[in-house]
């Protein structure tokens, strides 16, 4: 190889590259840089030996430490589950009142209940449990079947008209379809019912007659005062809170064709700790008794 030209001014050898009279000097790389470079090479060799590094055809080099992020995650999840299992077991053992009054258990039950509600209940009851037509709002203190911890727990366990042997059952009869009342009687009693909440009655309705029809046909379930009966799931008809709607048309439809909302049973589908968490969570929503 020909000897490289030496630059006259700096005395440094040039690389031989030249552009328009500018020559490139061949200065040595700074020592710190070269050193870092060799350290990196040494480090990478150590790394290849210790850690997973090179892809092979169907596998990869595992390295002496056989480290795997997957195993780390699996271990962390197992640890978390073990911690939760402790809490869940404590929930199963405690009764609902105890859970309510124990800071730790309550906190765990609330978090657990909120998550389970989002997964299982929100499709019917809404994310904020505010409900839809036919699906009750669980935030208010109007309860069809009762708002104590035990009532709520029973509702969640066995459901309502769910087909489970211990499900809550009770029928709002189809007074029109089954010809228990004629059209005028339905108009009158519906008008009486909406008038209890300050709604507008049907034109030409005889509200006094409606009151009589009510006493004869409805009071057995909804109560003499129309304030409802939780053993039968018969709602309070005086508070202007409606499951199906309080317009005269909707109330006439309810009386004509009956109603029977179905809420699935959760026992067997959700574990006991989750059902307890849900009961505590729903009870805390504002209307718990
Ligand atoms: C498939 C729809 C559906 C799902 C899912 C559902 N519910 Fe319900 N739920 C209903 C209906 C409908 C009613 C009202 C039944 C009736 O008319 O009596 C109800 C009633 C209730 C009641 C009684 C309210 C009262 O006023 O007494 C509670 C409590 C309740 N649900 C909690 C839950 C919880 C907790 C979950 C989740 C585990 C859940 N529901 C999931 C449809 C559903
Ligand atoms: C055998 C018991 C029973 C009798 C008798 C009965 N009801 Fe009901 N009623 C119920 C039940 C249970 C419900 C709730 C249905 C549901 O949750 O799906 C209900 C619901 C209603 C609703 C719907 C309320 C809302 O919030 O939307 C109205 C209105 C009503 N009943 C009016 C009447 C009238 C008027 C009569 C008499 C003509 C009557 N009921 C007789 C059991 C009864």
Residue nearest to atom 22 of ligand 2 (CA): 254
CB 91 within 8 A of CB 268: no
Distance from C-alpha of 152 to C-alpha of 181, rounded to nearest angstrom: 34
The pLDDT-based confidence of 39 (bands split at 50, 70, 90) is very high
Q: Which residues pair with 234 in a beta bridge?
A: 229
State the pLDDT at residue 85. Answer: 84
pLDDT tens digits, one per residue of 235-257: 999 999 999 999 999 999 999 99
State the pLDDT at residue 260. Answer: 95
The pLDDT-based confidence of 196 (bands split at 50, 70, 90) is very high
Sorted by sequence, the CB contacts under 8 Å of residue 193 that are 6+ apart come out as 210, 214, 226, 237, 251, 255
Strands 22-25 and 14-19: antiparallel
Residue among 153, 165, 111, 106 at smallest CA distance from 270: 153
State the pLDDT at residue 88. Answer: 87
pLDDT tens digits, one per residue of 146-189: 999 999 999 999 999 999 999 999 999 999 999 999 999 999 99
pLDDT tens digits, one per residue of 78-96: 998 888 888 888 898 999 9
Query: What distance in angstroms lies between residue 215's CA and the mean position of ligand 2's atoms?
Result: 13
State the pLDDT at residue 8. Answer: 84
* pTM (2 d.p.): 0.78
The answer to whether residue 1 scores a pLDDT higher than 60 is: no
The answer to whether residue 287 scores a pLDDT higher than 80 is: no
The answer to whether residue 286 scores a pLDDT higher than 80 is: no
State the pLDDT at residue 160. Answer: 97
Phi, psi of 280 (to 5 degrees): -65, -40
The answer to whether residue 227 scores a pLDDT higher than 80 is: yes
CATH topology of domain 183-257: Cytochrome Bc1 Complex; Chain D, domain 2 (1.10.760)
Which of 263, 265, 269, 287, when mutated, tests ligand 1's pocket best, judged by the most ligand atoms within 8 Å of its CB?
Answer: 263
What is the pLDDT averaged over residues 93-102?
Answer: 90
Q: Is the dihedral of CA 135, 136, 138, 143 positive or negative?
A: negative
| Domain assignments of the chain as residue spans, ordered by start | 1-67, 73-166+264-284, 183-257
CB 129 within 8 A of CB 138: yes
State the pLDDT at residue 189. Answer: 97
Report the 10 Å Cβ neighbour count for 32.
8
What is the Cα Rg of the chain in Å?
A: 38
Q: Which residues pair with 267 in a beta bridge?
A: 270
State the pLDDT at residue 149. Answer: 94
Distance from C-alpha of 120 to C-alpha of 278, rounded to nearest angstrom: 10
State the pLDDT at residue 224. Answer: 95
State the pLDDT at residue 185. Answer: 97
Mean pLDDT of the chain: 93
Least confident of 50-64, 80-94, 173-187, 205-219: 80-94
What is the pLDDT averaged over residues 194-209?
Answer: 95
Share of the chain above pLDDT 70, in %: 99
The CB-side HSE value for 193 (13 A sphere, CA atoms) comes to: 33
User: Which residues does a 6 A CB cutoff place in the pocket of ligand 2?
Assistant: 144, 170-173, 175, 189, 193, 214, 217-218, 220-222, 232-235, 237, 242-245, 251, 254-255, 259-261
Is it true that domain 73-166+264-284 has CATH number 1.10.760.10? yes
pLDDT higher at 262 or 10: 262
Sorted by sequence, the CB contacts under 8 Å of residue 189 that are 6+ apart come out as 181, 210, 213, 214, 217, 218, 255
User: Which ligand approaches the C-alpha of residue 161 most closely?
Assistant: 1
Q: Is 182 helix (H, G, I), strand (E, B) or coil?
A: coil
Domains 73-166+264-284 and 183-257 alike in fold: yes
State the pLDDT at residue 203. Answer: 93
For residue 262, the ligand 1 atom closest to its alpha carbon is 12
The answer to whether residue 141 scores a pLDDT higher than 60 is: yes
State the pLDDT at residue 3. Answer: 67
């Amino acid at each position: 190889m020909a000897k490289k030209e030496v630059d006259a001014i700096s005395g440094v050898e040039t690389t031989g590259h030249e552009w328009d009279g500018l020559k490139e000097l061949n200065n040595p790389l700074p020592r710190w840089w070269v050193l870092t470079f060799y350290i990196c090479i040494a480090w990478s060799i150590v790394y290849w030996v210790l850690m997973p590094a090179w892809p092979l055809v169907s596998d990869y080099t595992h390295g002496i430490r056989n480290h795997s992020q997957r195993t780390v995650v699996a271990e962390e999840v197992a640890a978390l589950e073990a911690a939760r299992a402790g809490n869940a077991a404590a929930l199963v053992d405690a009764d609902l009142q105890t859970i309510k009054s124990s800071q730790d258990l309550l906190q765990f039950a609330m978090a657990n209940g909120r998550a389970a509600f989002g997964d299982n209940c929100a499709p019917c009851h809404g994310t904020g449990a505010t409900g839809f037509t036919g699906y009750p709002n669980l935030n208010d203190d109007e309860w069809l079947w009762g708002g104590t911890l035990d009532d709520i727990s029973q509702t969640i366990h066995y459901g309502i008209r769910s087909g489970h042997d211990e499900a809550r059952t009770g029928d709002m009869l189809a007074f029109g379809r089954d010809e228990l009342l004629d059209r005028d009687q339905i108009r009158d009693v519906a008008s009486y019912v909406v008038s209890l909440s300050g709604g507008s009655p049907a034109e030409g309705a005889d509200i006094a007659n409606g009151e009589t029809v009510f006493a004869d046909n409805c009071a057995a379930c909804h109560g003499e005062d129309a304030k409802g009966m939780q053993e039968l799931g018969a709602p309070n008809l005086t508070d202007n809170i409606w499951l199906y709607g309080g317009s005269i048309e909707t109330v006439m439809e309810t009386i004509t064709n009956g109603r029977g909302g179905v809420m699935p049973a959760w026992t067997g589908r959700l574990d006991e700790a989750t059902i307890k968490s849900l009961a505590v969570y729903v009870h805390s929503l504002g209307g718990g008794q």
